[in-house]
Structures are given as structure tokens and as C-alpha cells.
Amino acid sequence: MSAEAAKIMKEQDVAETDVERRDWDEAWARVKKRLRTELGDDVFTSWFARIECDGVAAGVVSLSAPTLFLKGWIKSHYSDRLVALWNAEYGDVRRVDVVKRSPLKFPAQVKVVHSEPAPVQPQAAQEDAEDRFAGSPLDSRLTFTSFCEGASNEVAFRAARAVATAPDGAPPLYNPLYIHAGVGIGKTHLLQAIAHETRKMHPQRRVMYLTVERFTFQFVAALRDKAALDFKEKLRSIDILLIDDMQFLTGRSVQQEFCHMLNALLDSSKQVVVAADRAPGELDGIDERVRSRLKGGVVVGMARPDTAMRRKILDLRLAAARERDPKIQVPDNVLDFIARMVVSNGRDLDGALNRLICRAQFSDQPISVDACELAIADLIGDREPKRIRIEDIQKIVARHYNVSRQDLVSARRTRTVVRPRQIAMYLAKTMTPRSFPEIGKRFGGRDHTTVLHAVRKIEGLVGADQKLSDEIELLRRLLQD
Ligand SMILES: Nc1ncnc2c1ncn2[C@@H]1O[C@H](COP(=O)(O)OP(=O)(O)OP(=O)(O)O)[C@@H](O)[C@H]1O
């Protein structure tokens, strides 16, 4: 190859590289814009403002973060979303890698534009400028208004409210307030609701929401940067400290520091609220002094929400979604179905509803119970088929149609009773091994031909009436629950 040809090819390579770089740069700008819209300004700024894109090669996007904490957080919380957004904005992306940026590493654009590296602030100085001892980010949706109160959480809910609305100058009533519950039951929601409410009611109070993970990171970073005193001072100046995920507190020196901080705050009548997935006595590997200080406050547990409360949570979430997009529709029987079947926790409920909302946005057809079951199959979990009794059928059908069980077995022939009775007979025939005469006997001693007629009637209607078919499907599932 002539020197001239080699020169032209090299220039082309450089030009192509520049074009590629511009492409992924622009894609990254679009991905960030979408993230900002999805997450809101606060959350976006906390996590993504300092993330940079270093390039895309062979389907792998390389991002860099200024700290190990940010790197870990982005990887564990946003990997899947980033891959999806990059695919939408750029295409053919298999993976998004996040590495910790070296303090001397320059953003890609700087490398291209300057032949001499421009001076960069040391990492510690950059972080100082952004208050590196700030708390964990708050989600503006997690307020008391969006939290459902019920028998399983009312003590925790009321105590949390009392903390947020306590009058100025009054000594804390519950200190520390320790809230414990299983995964996804609403601990983080309550802690963040306290933070939002306090900021609204008492803007002068310094309130900080801090996960134990972030506490640990900040403590270790402060030691490394010889800023441990600043760190302690910052935490001790807080009026209300909300600590989440207490069960993750590990390491002797971190626990010691935590214990000093806890003592200092409690001794000066500052409010501390702690959340964990277990009671203080069950926190393994936690310094006995920390444990006993936590036990000495007010300990409240929250249990799983019951079906009615799960339904209430779904209603709240749907109402919020419909405020953003009034076209979204999820039929009542589908919401009933989710409330009955997704029993694990609030997070799975949210997940189930989000999937349906996403479908509802792209389809004009209201979703059926069947389609819903398919969409959320992984959230339902496996169940053994249950042995169904005719009494159970009568109970569930009566409740669903708002008649009494007595009505179903009575001689009454009003329309409001006849159709539910026929449905109950149909379910008895298709869901139990009972014969027509046996079913007739359980329905007030009716003749077997009456049962036969009812079963045929419903069979005929189900094919033509989608609403009835959905109702029957729902009843079946309620019975199998
Ligand atoms: N009672 C409730 N009312 C409204 N939403 C709820 C309720 N309980 C849980 N949620 C919702 O369920 C989801 C999970 O709740 P949250 O993150 O607070 O759980 P958690 O107990 O902190 O779980 P983890 O132990 O995994 O951190 C959130 O979206 C939350 O809003």
C-alpha cells in the first residue's frame, strides 16, 4: 500500500471513529434524558449526574462512575434498565459495564479534543463540592398519602406519622423507633414518608434518610480521606435520622462508629428511626451495645397486607398512573385477581400492576384475567390444586354477587339470585367430582334436572359473553387460592 493510500485509510478510520463516538454520545444523551423523565430530577441527579459513557464496542456499553459505591449501585439497581434503554436508543447492546473511573481518567470528549490532558480535580475535592456526606436519595412517590394503612401496619404507620408531625421542642416520644417487617412490606416507604412529611411540616429540621450501605460507604471513605471528624459532625448535627436496612450493618469499626453516633443522637434527644427485616433481638452479628440500644426504644412490626389491603394498594397505584395517563384501564376483576394471587409483598404488587399498565398503554382492549395471569405468572408462584368443596363455592359465589349463601340454597327465583345460583351449580359440576343429584341435594334439595339445566345454560353463555366468562374465571381462581 502506498504511503498516500495508508494516509487516506487512516484519515477514514479517524473520521469513522469520530462518527461512532458522536453516535454513542448522542445515544447516551437520549438514554440520560429518558432516565431523568422516569426517575425524576432528584433520583436522576443522585445516581447518574456523574456517570460517563466511555464508549460502545461489540454490543457492550462502557460506563464509568467516580466511586465504587456509585458503580455498585448502578450495577445492582439499573443494569437491566440501562440495557433496555441503550437498545432502544442505539441498538444491538448486550451488556452495560460500569467501572470505577480513575481520578486521572478523562472523559472521552476531552481525550479527542485536547492533545494535552486538561487538569482534573482530585476525586475527594470533586465530592466535597457536592456534599459527600449527604443522605441517600428520596423517592418523591413514597409519602404517607401513597401508603395504605391497615390492621397489619397501623401501629407502625401511626408511630411514623407521630414522629414526622411531633411539635417543635417536644422530646421524642418513641426513640429510637424501630420498624421491622419482611421484604417489600413498606419499611422504606414509611421511612421516606417521614422524611417528606418532616420537610413539609418542619422545613427547619434537619432530616436525613440513610441506608446502612451508604453509611458504611461514607464512613470508609471518610476514614480514607482523613475526614472522619467531618463525617461524625455531620451525622450528629441531624435532628431526625432515618436508617434503613439495619440488618446489613457489618464490620467491627463500622458498628462501633454506628454505636457512637446512635448514642450521641439519642442522648441529645434527637429522633432516630431504624428499619430492618427482623426484630433487634434477631440481628445476627450486631454489636450487643447497638442491639440493646435499639431494643430499648419502641419496636413495632408490620405483617403482610391482607387481600383487601393489597387491593387498596393496587387502587392507589392505578389512580396515580391514571393521573399521568387517563386512558389506562385495568378492569376490576383483574385487580381482584392480582390482589388475591400476588401475596408476597408490595414490590411484587407494584411489579404486577406495572406490567399491566404497560400493556394497557399499548392496547385498546381491556386486559382479561387470563392474559393477566400469563403476564404475571412468575409473581404468582406455584400452587398445588386444592380440593374444592361445594360449601366453598357457595360462599365465594355468594360473596362475589353480594347475596347470602342462604339465598343460593333457597327457593327464591329473583334474577339477582337465579344467575349466581346457576353459576355456583356450574362451578360445582366442573370443579368437584359430585354428580348432578348430589349437587341438587346441596342446593336446597333440587332435582338433578334443575342442575343439568343450570350447567347447560352457563356453558352456553360463557362462549358468547366475555364478561361472564371472565367472572367465572375469577371465581375459579378465587376458589383455588
Ligand atoms: N402499605 C403499603 N401501602 C402502599 N404501598 C406499599 C405498602 N407496602 C408496600 N408498598 C409498596 O411496595 C413496594 C416495596 O416497599 P418497600 O421498598 O418500602 O419495602 P421494604 O419493606 O423496605 O422492603 P426491603 O426489605 O426489600 O427493603 C414499594 O413500592 C412500596 O411503595
Q: What is the pLDDT of residue 481?
A: 66
Of the two residues 308 and 119, the one the predictor is more confident about is 308
Q: Is the minimum distance from the CB of 153 to ligand 1 under 6 angstroms?
A: yes
- Which range of 115-119, 325-329, 343-347, 409-413 scores highest in mean pLDDT? It is 409-413
Q: Is the minimum distance from the CB of 440 to ligand 1 under 6 angstroms?
A: no
Q: Is the minimum distance from the CB of 184 to ligand 1 under 6 angstroms?
A: yes
Q: What is the mean pLDDT of residues 344-373?
A: 84
Q: Which of 246, 347, 353, 357 to mutate to test the pocket of ligand 1 (most atoms within 8 A of CB)?
A: 347
Q: What is the pLDDT of residue 448?
A: 92
Q: What is the pLDDT of residue 56?
A: 84
- Measured CA to CA in angstroms, residue 228 lies from 120, 166, 251, 361 at distances of 25, 32, 16, 50
Which run of H or of E encompasses 52? strand 52-57
C-alpha cell recorded at residue 215: 453509611
C-alpha cell recorded at residue 408: 343460593
Q: What is the pLDDT of residue 42?
A: 63
What is the CA(147)–ligand 1 centre distance, in A? Answer: 9
pLDDT in tens, 42-80: 677 767 878 888 888 888 899 988 777 778 778 888 889
What is the CA(237)–ligand 1 centre distance, in A? Answer: 29
- Across 75-138, the runs of DSSP E, i.e. the strands, are 95-100
* Residue bearing the CA closest to ligand 1, atom 31: 189
CA 350 to ligand 1: nearest atom: 29
CATH topology of domain 12-123: GMP Synthetase; Chain A, domain 3 (3.30.300)
187 is in an annotated binding site: yes
- Measured CA to CA in angstroms, residue 427 lies from 340, 388, 470 at distances of 19, 10, 13
CA 189 to ligand 1: nearest atom: 18
Q: What is the pLDDT of residue 9?
A: 43
Alpha carbon distance 402, 407 (integer Å):
10
- The residue ranges of every structural domain in the chain are 12-123, 154-301, 307-380, 390-480
Cβ 177 vs Cβ 160: under 8 Å: yes
pLDDT in tens, 6-53: 454 444 444 445 566 778 888 999 999 999 888 877 677 767 878 888
40 is in an annotated binding site: no
- Average pLDDT over the chain reads 82
Strands 177-180 and 298-301: parallel
Q: Is the minimum distance from the CB of 213 to ligand 1 under 6 angstroms?
A: no
Number of helices (H), then strands (E), in the chain? 22, 8
Residue with cell 347447560: 456
Q: Mind giving me the DSSP string for 264-333?
A: HHHHTT-EEEEEESS-GGG-TT--HHHHHHHHTSEEEE-----HHHHHHHHHHHHHHHHHH-TT----HH
Q: Is the minimum distance from the CB of 310 to ligand 1 under 6 angstroms?
A: no
Alpha carbon distance 156, 151 (integer Å):
10
Cα dihedral angle (154, 157, 162, 164), rounded to 10 degrees? -170
Cross-strand partners of 301: 180
Mark 165-199 as b/e (b = at least 16 C-beta within 10 Å): ebeeeeebebbbbbbbbeebbbbbbbbbbbbbbbb
Alpha carbon distance 407, 398 (integer Å):
8
pLDDT in tens, 258-300: 888 899 899 989 999 999 988 888 887 788 888 889 988 999 9
Cα dihedral angle (460, 464, 470, 472), rounded to 10 degrees? -10
pLDDT level of residue 127 (50, 70, 90 thresholds):
very low
pLDDT level of residue 1 (50, 70, 90 thresholds):
very low
Q: Is the minimum distance from the CB of 176 to ligand 1 under 6 angstroms?
A: no
Q: What are phi and psi of 144, to 5 degrees?
A: -65, -35
Cβ 35 vs Cβ 44: under 8 Å: yes
pLDDT level of residue 102 (50, 70, 90 thresholds):
low
Alpha carbon distance 309, 154 (integer Å):
12
Alpha carbon distance 336, 314 (integer Å):
9
For 350, residues 6+ apart whose C-beta sits below 8 A from its C-beta are 317
Q: Is the minimum distance from the CB of 373 to ligand 1 under 6 angstroms?
A: no
Cβ 90 vs Cβ 55: under 8 Å: no
444 is in an annotated binding site: no
381 is in an annotated binding site: no
Which run of H or of E encompasses 231? helix 228-236
Q: Is the minimum distance from the CB of 306 to ligand 1 under 6 angstroms?
A: no
Cross-strand partners of 450: none
C-alpha cell recorded at residue 158: 401511626
Domain 390-480 has CATH 1.10.1750.10: yes
Q: Is the minimum distance from the CB of 348 to ligand 1 under 6 angstroms?
A: no
CATH number for the domain formed by residue range(s) 307-380: 1.10.8.60
Q: In what order do the strands lie in the sheet with 207-211?
A: 207-211, 240-244, 271-276, 177-180, 298-301
pLDDT level of residue 110 (50, 70, 90 thresholds):
very low
pLDDT level of residue 235 (50, 70, 90 thresholds):
confident
Q: What is the pLDDT of residue 125?
A: 39
Which run of H or of E encompasses 56? strand 52-57
Q: What is the mean pLDDT of residues 369-393?
A: 78
pLDDT in tens, 140-183: 989 999 999 988 899 999 999 999 999 888 888 899 999 999 88
The tally of CA atoms less than 13 A away on the side-chain side of residue 276 is 22
What is the CA(343)–ligand 1 centre distance, in A? Answer: 13
Of the two residues 425 and 221, the one the predictor is more confident about is 425
154-301: CATH superfamily? P-loop containing nucleotide triphosphate hydrolases (3.40.50.300)
Q: What is the pLDDT of residue 114?
A: 28
What is the CA(183)–ligand 1 centre distance, in A? Answer: 8
